[in-house]
């Protein structure tokens, strides 16, 4: 602990203690008569307005891993990392098309998870199970990566970096996570919603200060862009190829314009298929709050653009580049090192605390979302159909603990690259829900068995294709794009196209064979309903629509 800066460390600890207090206090915020209800614990009472939803979704979607991984990709490969920026622009028009419909139908029927909707729409437990399984599978590594984000910050802070004892080395991480687990158990979704205010304030402050201040230290934007352009055009002696690209190329293979666009499109469609994004959405009180947030949330994308540019600043700053090289070339340390070299230690402390707290908010929401999926679509569906709202809430509380402990083991025991590969796969997997979820919000034409087969085909193709991607530095899992018909393209997109084709063909077959389609408990006008059209829910009937009883 000799090279730990006392000021930085103190500020980080102080802000962490503050957040812990807020996390526990959140249990009393907007208190309801009966808190042992999934609508309360898992969805914060379904009463958040536009303003709170903006903080909640912003805190939910722009995660600590994003703040670490996007600049890391930009630092390592150049322009391709900016697909994340183009994706966070695209996501809002695309999401505006289907998300308000999901909010409305979920509100009418009291759905808590996306799989609840699939169950109600197609009358198929199997399809809902597939959706729940995919959701949990995609969320686990995502939570683990939030820890990887924290680890990157702790490593640069020098906290126990010298210790060879795994347990001691990860002790700060374990403490942070246990605290997170306990206040999520107690306060449910209210905790991350309230902490998101602190997190976002810290992040907006440090990013805005950094983008105005750092360029003055590095000779202006012209020099930063110039240094990046020179660096990515120069040849990497290890691979014999350029380090990266400064602008997506018009070639057909590599970091191409087509690859860039396919990554952006695939990720944009996938974002609101993630269960934690749906959880944040369903917590909104009104349909209008969901819609308006598609207008206000792009503010965070501006922030992400600036954060991505930190990658270029790290390239342009010789001291940062040297530190990263010294740490074995781990590009994930780009942002923490940049801040350490550029700012006085108290400000670095604020920035580091922002990133650490930025990991806690999404990790809490993700674990709640995964827990709800388990409770609603596995436990209640297959083991205890008569589970009361109280029991469902208790199961979710415990499941959220298990999910977080699992993620902790992931992050500590397995090599970091394993989590990263799984998260890459998670994006591909979650995209396979698009036909059943987005499709189902607009049409009942697809057959449930066709959707299930299409989902399976997409999952298999996506997994195998991702495994087979190789690079000079890695024989497998080297990226999220492969080459189809001579063009680099995002695997998730190819997989979902295969998924869709299988679904359409089999739907025609199933309809010709007159295979039963299952009961649909939803009605067309319920997809546009707002709060006024929703009947007050019966006190004991959470999540149980009248039609399914």
Partner 1 sequence: MTQPAARARSAVSAHPVTSAAIAIAMAADIFFVLYTPIYSTVTPKVGDWPFFYFYLLIFMPITSVALWLVILLQKRLERSRQDPAAASQESGMRP
Q: Which residues bind partner 1 (CB under 8 A)?
A: 79, 82, 85-86, 89-90, 92-94, 96-97, 220-222, 225, 229, 246-250, 257-258, 260-261, 264-265, 291-292, 294-296, 298-299, 301-302, 305, 309, 523-525, 528
CB of 260 to partner 1, least distance (A): 5
Identify which of residues 101 and 448 has a Cβ nearer to partner 1 in the complex.
101
CB of 323 to partner 1, least distance (A): 25
CB of 184 to partner 1, least distance (A): 32
Residue 443 buriedness (CB in 10 A; 0-12 / 13-18 / 19+): exposed
CB atoms closer than 10 angstroms to residue 498: 18
Identify which of residues 101 and 404 has a Cβ nearer to partner 1 in the complex.
101
Identify which of residues 208 and 322 has a Cβ nearer to partner 1 in the complex.
208
DSSP string, 364-415: HHHHHHHHHHHIIIIIIIII-TT--HHHHHHHHHHHHHHHHHHHHHHHHHS-
Instruction: Give 407's Cβ-side CA count (13 Å radius).
Output: 36
Identify which of residues 292 and 390 has a Cβ nearer to partner 1 in the complex.
292
Identify which of residues 281 and 301 has a Cβ nearer to partner 1 in the complex.
301
CB of 243 to partner 1, least distance (A): 17
Of 1, 2, 18, 7, which is closest to residue 340 (Cα–Cα)?
Answer: 7
Residue bearing tokens 């303003």: 51
For the CA atoms of the chain, what is the radius of gyration? 23
CB of 86 to partner 1, least distance (A): 5
Identify which of residues 85 and 115 has a Cβ nearer to partner 1 in the complex.
85
CB of 501 to partner 1, least distance (A): 21
DSSP string, 182-204: HHHHHHTTHHHHHHHHHHHHHHH
Q: Is the dihedral of CA 30, 33, 38, 39 positive or negative?
A: negative
Of 372, 304, 381, which is closest to residue 335 (Cα–Cα)?
Answer: 304
Of 238, 250, 311, 294, which is closest to residue 68 (Cα–Cα)?
Answer: 311
Q: Is 63 helix (H, G, I), strand (E, B) or coil?
A: coil
Backbone angles phi, psi at 484, to 5 degrees: -120, 130
Identify which of residues 30 and 251 has a Cβ nearer to partner 1 in the complex.
251
Q: What angle do CA 526, 531, 532 make, to 5 degrees?
A: 90
CB of 511 to partner 1, least distance (A): 21
Identify which of residues 306 and 405 has a Cβ nearer to partner 1 in the complex.
306
CB of 77 to partner 1, least distance (A): 15
């Amino acid at each position: 602990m000799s090279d730990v800066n006392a000021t930085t460390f103190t500020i980080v600890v102080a802000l962490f203690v503050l957040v812990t207090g807020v996390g526990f206090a959140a249990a009393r915020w907007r208190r309801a008569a009966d808190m042992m209800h999934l609508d309360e614990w898992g969805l914060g009472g379904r009463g958040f307005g536009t303003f709170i939803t903006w903080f909640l979704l912003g805190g939910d979607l722009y995660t600590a891993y994003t703040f670490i991984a996007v600049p890391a990709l930009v630092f390592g490969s150049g322009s391709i990392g900016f697909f994340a920026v183009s994706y966070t622009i695209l996501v809002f028009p695309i999401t505006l098309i289907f998300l308000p419909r999901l909010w409305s139908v979920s509100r009418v029927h009291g759905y808590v998870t996306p799989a609840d909707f699939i169950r109600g729409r197609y009358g198929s437990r199997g399809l809902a199970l597939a959706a729940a399984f995919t959701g949990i599978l995609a969320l686990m590594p995502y939570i683990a990566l939030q820890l990887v984000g924290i680890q990157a910050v702790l490593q640069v802070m020098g906290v126990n970096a010298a210790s060879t004892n795994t347990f001691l080395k990860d002790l700060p991480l374990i403490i942070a996570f246990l605290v997170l687990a306990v206040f999520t158990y107690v306060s449910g979704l209210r905790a991350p919603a309230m902490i998101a205010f602190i997190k976002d304030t810290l992040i907006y402050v440090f990013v805005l200060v950094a983008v105005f201040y750092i360029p003055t230290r590095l000779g202006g934007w012209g020099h930063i862009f110039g240094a990046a352009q020179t660096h990515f055009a120069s040849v990497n002696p290890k691979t014999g190829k350029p380090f990266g690209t400064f602008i997506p190329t018009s070639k057909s293979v590599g970091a191409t314009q087509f690859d860039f666009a396919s990554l952006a499109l695939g990720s944009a469609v996938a974002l609101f298929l993630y269960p934690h994004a749906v959880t944040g959405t369903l917590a909104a009180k009104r349909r209008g709050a969901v819609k308006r947030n598609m207008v206000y949330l792009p503010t965070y994308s501006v922030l992400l653009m600036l954060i991505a540019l930190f990658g270029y600043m790290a390239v342009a700053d010789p001291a940062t580049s040297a530190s990263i090289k010294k740490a074995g070339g781990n590009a994930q340390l780009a942002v923490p090192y940049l801040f350490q070299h550029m700012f006085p230690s108290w400000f670095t402390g604020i920035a580091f605390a922002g990133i650490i707290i930025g990991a806690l908010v999404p990790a809490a929401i993700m674990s709640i979302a995964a827990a709800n999926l388990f409770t609603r679509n596995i436990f209640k569906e297959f083991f205890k159909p008569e589970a009361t709202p109280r029991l469902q809430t208790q199961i979710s509380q415990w499941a959220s603990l298990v999910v977080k402990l699992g993620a902790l083991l992931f992050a500590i025991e397995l090599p970091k690259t394993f989590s990263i590969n799984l998260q890459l796969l998670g994006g591909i997997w979650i995209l396979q829900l698009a036909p059943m979820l987005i499709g189902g919000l607009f049409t009942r034409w697809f057959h449930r068995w066709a959707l299930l087969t299409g989902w399976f085909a997409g999952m298999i193709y996506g997994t195998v294709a991702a495994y087979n991607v190789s690079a000079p530095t890695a024989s497998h899992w080297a990226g999220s794009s492969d080459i189809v018909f001579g063009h680099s393209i995002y695997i998730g997109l190819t997989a979902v196209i295969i998924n869709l084709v299988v679904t359409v063909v089999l739907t025609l077959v199933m309809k010709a064979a007159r295979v039963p389609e299952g009961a649909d408990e939803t009605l067309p006008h319920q997809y546009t309903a707002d709060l006024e059209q929703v009947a007050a829910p019966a006190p004991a009937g959470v999540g149980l629509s009248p039609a399914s009883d």
